[in-house]
């Protein structure tokens, strides 16, 4: 019987958007799923637990144009300690920018990992404006994309999907600025302080 | 200022006033935890007070950069990627349109000429992906000109020395 393992590769896994994306996916997927956060200390345990799963979904944010370090480190461990039966690997990635296309390179990196290490690459969902979309009226677009991703994995009809907030860039920037100003205000930090040009 | 940031120990001539060499293998740098403290709590300063806080100001101040990194999955390998992720205090939270895409506003970051030496790629496909990554970095890391050199690990030392000599002349 098919089982799907979800790995959260976000640097802030316990309180990340990726955690919420993973939960929405688990709800939308008819396969039995188990979700794990990647931590610096559980790589070998995750490699060993992967034995029981036919599908693997990597959920992570774009970091510095690529795969974030927690997941990158884990992939190195996985390369050295592969399961006997390798699952099909799919990706659910989000970035804070409005262009979902900025996620492409990180997906290509996972595809390359699959090619190099003998895994089948499955489906991918690339979400733009992923830092905020779940807290806006456009949440349904992310949920719809996740449902499509889940269906494609269940049916073994692997595809690549994408979504983002359907806003003009200037409006997105205004909304994003307000989002960050509210975060600063919570910490008692003003716009002027956040705009400092000083480093250290 | 010129900065050499490397995950590969290099035997270089003694440091000159305007050339700084940082061997990442000798530093203690934790990975970014995505707290956004450097944007919304202590703007411009990372809340994790380890060796990275000495490095990202140098990245910001440099007008010429030489990065040396092993390539893994078409990406910088973990040591260099860890450092670059920890360098986000040099950006603001706020977004702007840059080259037609949304990107973060930079703080006081000098525009750079960058040479990126990536070693250990296992295939032309991996090299091509690494080159695409550097092309993306140009938008997010204030790199105005980049040159990417993909090579074997055994060639790194000679390539770096040649570049440092070129800087001196």
pLDDT tens sequence across A90-148: 999 999 999 999 999 999 999 999 999 999 999 999 999 988 899 999 999 999 999 99
CB atoms within 10 A of CB B70: 18
CB count within 10 Å of CB A8 equals 25
- With CA atoms as reference, report the closest residue to A20 among A61, A50, A54, A65: A61
Per-window interface: A 177-196 vs B, CB < 8 A: 177, 180, 183-184, 186-187, 189, 193-196
Q: Does B168 touch chain A (CB under 8 A)?
A: no
CATH number of A4-166: 3.40.50.360
Q: How confident is the model at residue A166 (pLDDT cuts 50, 70, 90)?
A: very high
Percent of chain A whose predicted confidence (pLDDT) is above 90: 94
Instruction: Record the tokens describing residue B3, joined without a space.
Output: 């900065």
Rounded to whole angstroms, how far apart are CA atoms B92 and A96? 13
Q: Which residue has the tokens 């030496």?
A: B117
Cα separation, A132 vs A189, whole angstroms: 20
For residue B152, the Cα-to-chain-centroid distance in whole angstroms is 19
Q: How confident is the model at residue A15 (pLDDT cuts 50, 70, 90)?
A: confident
At CB < 8 A and 24+ separation, what contacts does A164-168 make? A164/A98, A164/A99, A164/A100, A164/A127, A164/A128, A164/A129, A164/A133, A165/A98, A165/A128, A165/A129, A165/A132, A165/A133, A165/A136, A165/A138, A165/A141, A166/A138, A166/A141, A167/A98, A167/A129
Q: Supply the ipTM of this predicted assembly.
A: 0.95
| Domain parsing of chain A, residue ranges | 4-166, 167-200
pLDDT, position B15: 66
Q: Do A108 and B93 touch (CB under 8 A)?
A: no
Predicted pLDDT at B16: 73
Which chain B residues touch A110 with a CB distance below 8 Å? 73
- The side-by-side arrangement of strands in the sheet containing A88-94 is A33-37, A4-8, A55-61, A88-94, A121-127, A160-163
CA B32/CA A71 separation, integer angstroms: 12
Q: Which residues of B31-42 are buried (b: 16+ CB within 10 A; e: fewer)?
A: bbbbebbbbbbb
Rounded mean pLDDT of A58-84?
97
Helix (H, G, I), strand (E, B) or coil at A113: helix
- pLDDT above 70 as % of chain A: 100
What value does the mean pLDDT of chain A take? 96
Residue-range definition of the domain harbouring residue B58? 2-168
How does pLDDT run across A171-186, given as a tens digit for each residue? 999 999 999 999 999 9
CATH of the domain at B37: 3.40.50.360
Residue window 74-133, chain B: list those with CB within 8 Å of chain A. 74-78, 81-82, 84-85, 87-90, 92-97, 101-103, 105, 107-109, 122-123, 125-126, 129, 132-133
B55 interaction partners in chain A (CB closer than 8 Å): none
Residue A37: band (very low, low, confident or very high) from pLDDT cuts 50, 70, 90:
very high
Number of structural domains in chain B? 1
| pLDDT by 10-residue block (mean), chain B, 169 residues | 95 80 95 95 97 97 97 98 97 95 95 97 97 94 94 96 86
CA distance B2 to B64: 5
CB under 8 Å to A74, separation ≥6 — which residues?
A: A7, A9, A38, A43, A46
The pLDDT-based confidence of A153 (bands split at 50, 70, 90) is: very high
């Amino acid at each position: 019987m098919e089982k799907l393992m979800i790995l959260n590769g976000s640097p802030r896994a316990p309180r990340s958007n990726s955690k919420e994306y993973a939960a929405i996916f688990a709800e939308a997927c008819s396969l039995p799923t188990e979700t794990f956060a990647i931590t610096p200390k559980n790589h070998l345990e995750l490699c060993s637990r992967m034995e029981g799963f036919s599908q693997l979904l990597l959920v992570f944010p774009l970091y510095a144009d690529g795969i974030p370090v927690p997941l990158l480190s884990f992939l190195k461990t996985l390369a050295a300690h592969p399961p006997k039966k390798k699952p099909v690997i799919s990706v659910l990635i989000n970035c804070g920018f409005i262009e979902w296309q900025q996620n492409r390179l990180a997906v290509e990196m996972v595809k390359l990992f699959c090619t190099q290490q003998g895994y089948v690459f499955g489906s991918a969902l690339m979400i733009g404006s992923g830092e905020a979309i779940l807290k806006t009226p456009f949440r349904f677009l992310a949920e719809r994309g996740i449902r499509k991703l889940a269906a494609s994995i269940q049916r073994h009809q692997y595809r690549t999907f994408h979504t983002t907030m359907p806003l003009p860039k200037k409006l997105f920037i205004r909304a994003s600025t307000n989002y960050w100003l509210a975060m600063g205000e919570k910490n008692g930090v003003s716009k002027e302080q956040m705009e400092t040009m000083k480093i250290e | 200022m010129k900065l050499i940031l490397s995950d590969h120990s290099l035997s270089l001539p003694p440091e000159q006033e305007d050339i700084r060499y940082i061997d990442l293998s000798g530093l203690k740098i934790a990975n970014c935890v995505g707290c956004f403290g450097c944007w919304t709590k202590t703007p411009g300063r990372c809340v994790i007070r380890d060796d990275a806080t000495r490095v990202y100001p140098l990245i910001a101040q440099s007008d010429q950069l030489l990065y040396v990194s092993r390539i893994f999955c078409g990406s910088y390998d973990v040591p260099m990627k860890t450092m670059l992720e920890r360098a986000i205090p040099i950006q603001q939270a706020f977004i702007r349109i840059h080259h037609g895409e949304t990107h973060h506003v930079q703080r006081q970051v000098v525009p750079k000429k960058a040479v990126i030496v990536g070693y250990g790629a296992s295939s032309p496909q991996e090299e091509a992906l690494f080159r695409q990554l550097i092309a993306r970095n140009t938008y997010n890391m204030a790199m105005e000109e980049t040159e990417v050199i993909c090579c074997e690990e055994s060639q790194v030392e000679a390539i770096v020395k040649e570049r440092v000599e070129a800087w001196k002349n």
